[in-house]
Each structure stands twice: as structure tokens, then as C-alpha cells.
Amino acid sequence: MDAAEVLQTVLSVIQGGTPIATPSSATSTPSSSQMLSPQGGGPPTIPQMIVTLLSLGAFWDWLKVLLVGAFLEICRRGSAAVWEKLWDSVWVTADFEWDSDGAEWLMYWLSQQRVFQKARSIEVCTWYFGPEGVCVNDLGDSDGDDRNDQVVFLPSLARTYSLWYRGLYLTVSRDRVLDAGSPWKTSKDMLQISMLTRDSGLLRELLKEARKAYKAANGHLIDVFVTEGTENWQRVAAQEKRPMSSVVLDPGVFELVLEDARDFLNSRKWYSDRGIPFRRGYLLYGAPGAGKTSMIHSIAGELGLAIYILSLTVTSLNDNSLKALISHLPKSCILLMEDIDAAFVRGIARRDIANPELHLLTSSNDDGDDNEDSSKGHAGRDPGGGGHNGVTLSGLLNALDGIAAQEGRILFATTNDYAALDPALLRPGRLDLHIEFGLASKHQAKELFKRFYTSSDAPVKVDEEDDDNIEDDGAGEKNSAYSSRTVSPVPPPGNATSKLLAMPEGVKSVYVGMTCTRHSFQLPQKKAAALVERFAAAIPPHTFSMATLQGYLMAYKVRPYVAVEEAPAWVEKKMRENDTQAAAKGRGSPGASTLGKTGTFHDVDD
């Protein structure tokens, strides 16, 4: 009986009929079909079929093939598993997403390794420098200052680099894999590092070393994050730390905030012992251009904290995403909400969108005292001229101090309009310390002047002798054609600075703003002291913002004498402008450049 016959028999049995007779079965002596047929001529029973199958020689051949195949497959899989186990036992491997911090540290570490510097296959990138640009190299033919000349060397895709670390064999590879988490089936790059050792602690050591080297290289920078999508943070920049001395405030203000924040960061246990949420909030309010943002930047540098900037006016933001964003903050960081009043005026919905019939947003889903706070003085305030997002005041309050709010974060909120803020937001626990920033005081004007002309990293050398040649009335400087608004089209000859500003004869100066030809100017101490006093005397206190004064001095970057000389005229002109503006707007009396009602400032420029 051949295989076709057996198959036919089996099929007919399955179909419940009698076996189909084949020509061979019709002619031959008792065939399989006959054997399978019960004596009564009905369909064969299952035991009969089994007996028949076992009696077939081909069946045993098939069985042998099957068993050998199964055995070989088991061996293959077993050996693969054993090999994998063996491999795992001698290698320690770690995978990093390409845009993760770990990958960044390792990339920096790798960029310092000779093997990588000498690698013969490498990806050269001229547009991606990484958020910190720490892996940036120049090609050796420039001083490296020009970003256009710089490149970054990345490991090539799907290539493995081998090197030695503390005498251990190490491989690094970069691969592109399918992003399992992405609904769009996008791919992502992964950095894999494997070390030939059984001690996973060594990989941790390597990571620590890479992080330390990276941080050391970044010691002068602070990380700045913004929201990515609506629930995640993305690092967008690493900015140079701003020296504390560059923010000129009245004595003690900067120190007060800095020490308070420092003290807070060191008091985690104190807070937890007393069951107080470990969070601190500062509100910096006052005149535009008074140094609020500058101070936050500088404090972040002093404390070594990253800044997370959250704009409440983003239209895609809602209560849930706000909560998610705040709960995704790291343990210690600065959360910056700039112009928080703008959120109230333009973006934030003061009605609870879940309960639109509520005219005033109450915090019944928050905690008790907000009810009372929220109802003070803000009823009927128009939520603003459109652009609403889904953030409600209670959503904001919850996000700031609800259960999910991150512990250890420092919140800095800034506003130019203190009165626009809801009292619920201002209460201790949310914004604990409110610091007012006024227009420039005499002290600030003096310090700003000193900062311009007496301290600089790369001063233009002016020795006493040269300096003495500059007449104190600034006549020498006056002709230097170095000014923001009055530029002589054809500068007087023989002046190095002026040459750079030279324009073809007959062509009028067409620009306003500041030109920059020399980096800085350094006055000798004794001259500086005298000029500082004269400058401060010319500037009326609490009349101009620091940004305005800075703008003025920028126009006289290398002409301190003229800056002092022309200050009274400039002040007069500015005051006049301001009066005209105030009169035009019909808001306030002439000279309304000074502090208005509490918390609201008007600068002559603003």
C-alpha cells in the first residue's frame, strides 16, 4: 500500500464515508481499504485505523524522520540558549536611547577616547551638535570659535567600535530599531555598550565616570528645558551660567533669594519631619526689564539647577497635561512660569471647563482656603481675548501643590502685573516669597555703570597715560561716531573704531540700534569712581528700568565719558517722551515714569 492509498483511506474515514476504491485496490489481494473495512462493510473504527497505520512500513519511516528533526531542533535551541547564557555571563550590556542623558554622557566620554578619535569609519555631522555641543570638534584648521567650522563625530550606524576600559574589552554600537512605543512605527537610534566582564558594577563605574566628565565639561552651563508635546520635557539649550555679579539689584535682594533657595534645598529632612510638602515658590514681580529673568538665570547657575520653562498660554495645554508635566519634573530643579499674569489674561480659563456654569473658578476640588481666596476681588474678570487653553485655575493650583506635584522643585513665577494674580495662587505654600522689582535705583545705576566700564573678562587695555589723554568732558569720544542713533555717515579719519562704521560718501546712516566694534572698555579705578558718581547723579532714581539704562550704556560701550556727559540730556529727552506718551494715552500725569500703584510699574520705554 502506498502513501496515496493511505491518505485516501484516512480522508474518507474522516469524511465518514467508506474508503474510495482505487484501481490498485480493486485488483490487488486484501488491500488496506479492505483491511480498514469492518467485517460488516461499514466505515473503519479509530482503533482499526491505528492498527492499520502501525502496520504500515512508511509510518515508521516518517516517525523516525520526525523524531530526528525534533531532536535536532531541540539541540539547536538548547545550544543557542546555552550560548546566550554563556555570553551573558561574560558580558555586561546596557542600551540607551539616543536622546537620553546616559547616551549623551557616553557620547562625550567616547569623544574623549583615542580609539574613537582615530576611528576609520565615523559619521560626521555638521548640523547636530547635541544640546550641549560638548562632543563638538573642529577639524583642526580653525580656532574652533566659529560654529560653522565645527563638526560632531558620531558612531556610524550598525557599526561596532571596540576599545579597552580599565583593561576590559568594551564594544560600543549604534543601531536603528523600530520604536515599539510609537503608534506610527517610527524608528529610533539606540546606543549599546557591552563590556567583557561578569561584574555589572564596572559598567556603572563607567557610566559614573562618563557623567562626571560630562558634567565637568558642562560646569559652566545650565540646562534649559521646555515642554515637548503636552506631557514631556525636552532639553532645548544649555546656556552659559550668568555670574551673580552681573545682576545688579539693590543690596541684599539677590542674596536673600539665593540663600533662601539654598536653605530650602538643604532642608528636605526638616520638611519631611514636619509633614510639610517640600516645595518652594518665589514670585518676582514689577517693572519690565528690571532683572527678574536675569536673576532666575543667575540663581539657577549658582545652585546648579536646570530650568524648566512652562508657558501657561500654550493652547494645547490642559489640566491633565499640566499635572503630568509638573509631576514629570526631576527632584531638584527650577520651574519657571514667566509672565504668569498673561496666562490669566489670555490663556488660562478662569471657569472650570467641566462646570461652565460656574462663573468663578472655585477650588472645591482642591483645598478649603482657596474657595475663600479665589473669590476675592476677581469676580467678573474677563478671561481674556481668546486663545483659551484647557487649563483652569484649580487645575493650576492642583498641579502646583497636589499629590502628584514633584517634591524638591523651586517655582519661580514672574509677572509685571501683580494685581492680576489670583490670591489663591499667591498664598504661602504656592508662592512663598514675593519680591518686588522696581525701576533702577541710584545704587543700581552706579553698579551698572561700573559693570560696563570697570570689569570685563577681556578688557581693552587702556593705560593710565592713554586714559589721561581722553578729556574728561568726553570731547575726544564725542567724535568717534559710535552711537546708536546718531551715526556720522563719514567718520573722521584716523579713528580705528570709526573706520569700521565708515559708509560711502553721500550715503546716509540708515540704521538705528547699537553697533559693536570693540568688546569692552576698562576705566582705571580712580577715573571710574568719579564718573560713576556723575552718572548716578544724572539718573533720577526709580525712573528707568535697568534694561533701559543698559540700552543707553550699550550705545556708549567704549565712551564712558560721553555716556556721562550726555546722560542729563538723554534723561530729559526720555522724560519728555514719556510725558507725551502718558498724555496721549491719557493715563497719568506728566512724569508718570515712576512707580505707580503697588505692583504695577511704568517705564518710560514701556
Angle at 156 between CA 239 and CA 142, to 5 degrees: 50
State the nearest-atom distance from the C-beta of 184 to ligand ATP, in Å. 38
Of the two residues 194 and 548, which places its CB atom closer to ligand ATP in the complex? 548
State the nearest-atom distance from the C-beta of 544 to ligand ATP, in Å. 11
Numbers of helices and strands, H then E, in the chain: 23, 14
Q: Where are the alpha helices (DSSP H) in 119-237?
A: 200-217
Q: Which of the stretches 24-32, 242-250, 488-496, 567-575 binds ligand ATP when contact is defined by CB under 6 A?
A: 242-250
Q: Give the residue, chosen from 19, 130, 131, 288, that forms a contact with ligand ATP under the rule CB under 6 A.
A: 288
Residues in 292-331 at the binding interface with ligand ATP, rule: CB under 6 A: 292-294
Q: Per rule CB under 6 A, is residue 247 in the interface with ligand ATP?
A: yes
235: nearest Cα among 330, 340, 137: 330
601: nearest Cα among 545, 557, 534: 545
State the nearest-atom distance from the C-beta of 131 to ligand ATP, in Å. 22
Tell me if 320 sits within 8 A of 229, measured CB to CB: no
Q: Give the Cα separation of 6 and 49 in Å (integer).
A: 10
Of the two residues 19 and 291, which places its CB atom closer to ligand ATP in the complex? 291
Q: Which of the stretches 216-224, 232-240, 288-296, 595-603 binds ligand ATP when contact is defined by CB under 6 A?
A: 288-296
Q: Per rule CB under 6 A, is residue 249 in the interface with ligand ATP?
A: yes
Residue nearest ligand ATP by beta-carbon distance:
291
Q: Per rule CB under 6 A, is residue 337 in the interface with ligand ATP?
A: no
State the nearest-atom distance from the C-beta of 596 to ligand ATP, in Å. 15
Q: Per rule CB under 6 A, is residue 520 in the interface with ligand ATP?
A: no
Q: Give the Cα separation of 306 and 289 in Å (integer).
A: 23
**CA 315 to each of CA 340, 347, 383, 388: distance values in angstroms, whole numbers, following the listed order:** 15, 7, 14, 6
Of the two residues 397 and 445, which places its CB atom closer to ligand ATP in the complex? 445
State the nearest-atom distance from the C-beta of 451 to ligand ATP, in Å. 7
State the nearest-atom distance from the C-beta of 548 to ligand ATP, in Å. 8
359: nearest Cα among 333, 326, 393: 393
Q: Give the Cα separation of 294 and 247 in Å (integer).
A: 7
Strand 333-337 to 307-309 pairing: parallel
Instruction: Tell me, residue by residue from 151 to 190, as one string, x for binding to ligand ATP by CB under 6 A and - for no binding.
Output: ----------------------------------------
Of the two residues 165 and 556, which places its CB atom closer to ligand ATP in the complex? 556
Q: Per rule CB under 6 A, is residue 248 in the interface with ligand ATP?
A: yes
Which amino acid makes up residue 471? E
293: nearest Cα among 229, 249, 235: 249
> Helix, strand, or coil here: 294?
helix
Q: Give the residue, chosen from 416, 522, 578, 593, that forms a contact with ligand ATP under the rule CB under 6 A.
A: 416
Q: Per rule CB under 6 A, is residue 239 in the interface with ligand ATP?
A: no
Q: Per rule CB under 6 A, is residue 445 in the interface with ligand ATP?
A: no
Tell me if 285 sits within 8 A of 435, measured CB to CB: yes
Residues 6+ apart with CB under 8 A from 588: 582, 596, 602
State the nearest-atom distance from the C-beta of 89 to ligand ATP, in Å. 57
Counting Cα atoms < 13 Å in the Cβ hemisphere of 106 gives 28
344: which DSSP letter?
A: I
Of the two residues 191 and 413, which places its CB atom closer to ligand ATP in the complex? 413
601: nearest Cα among 361, 353, 285, 379: 285
State the nearest-atom distance from the C-beta of 259 to ligand ATP, in Å. 18
Of the two residues 108 and 282, which places its CB atom closer to ligand ATP in the complex? 282
Size of the site for ligand ATP (CB under 6 A): 16
Q: Give the Cα separation of 476 and 471 in Å (integer).
A: 6
Q: Give the Cα separation of 15 and 399 in Å (integer).
A: 69
Beta pairing partners, 93: 194
State the nearest-atom distance from the C-beta of 215 to ligand ATP, in Å. 26
Tell me if 348 sits within 8 A of 393, measured CB to CB: yes
Tell me if 28 sits within 8 A of 2, measured CB to CB: no
Q: Which of the stretches 64-72, 287-295, 395-403, 512-520 binds ligand ATP when contact is defined by CB under 6 A?
A: 287-295
Of the two residues 281 and 291, which places its CB atom closer to ligand ATP in the complex? 291
Q: Which of the stretches 12-20, 95-103, 518-526, 545-553 binds ligand ATP when contact is defined by CB under 6 A?
A: 545-553
| Residue 124, all three cell numbers | 560626521
Q: Which of the stretches 243-251, 259-267, 485-493, 527-535 binds ligand ATP when contact is defined by CB under 6 A?
A: 243-251
Which amino acid makes up residue 130? G
Q: Give the residue, chosen from 291, 347, 491, 560, that forms a contact with ligand ATP under the rule CB under 6 A.
A: 291
Which spans of this chain sit near ligand ATP (rule: CB under 6 A)?
247-249, 288-294, 414, 416, 437, 546-547, 550
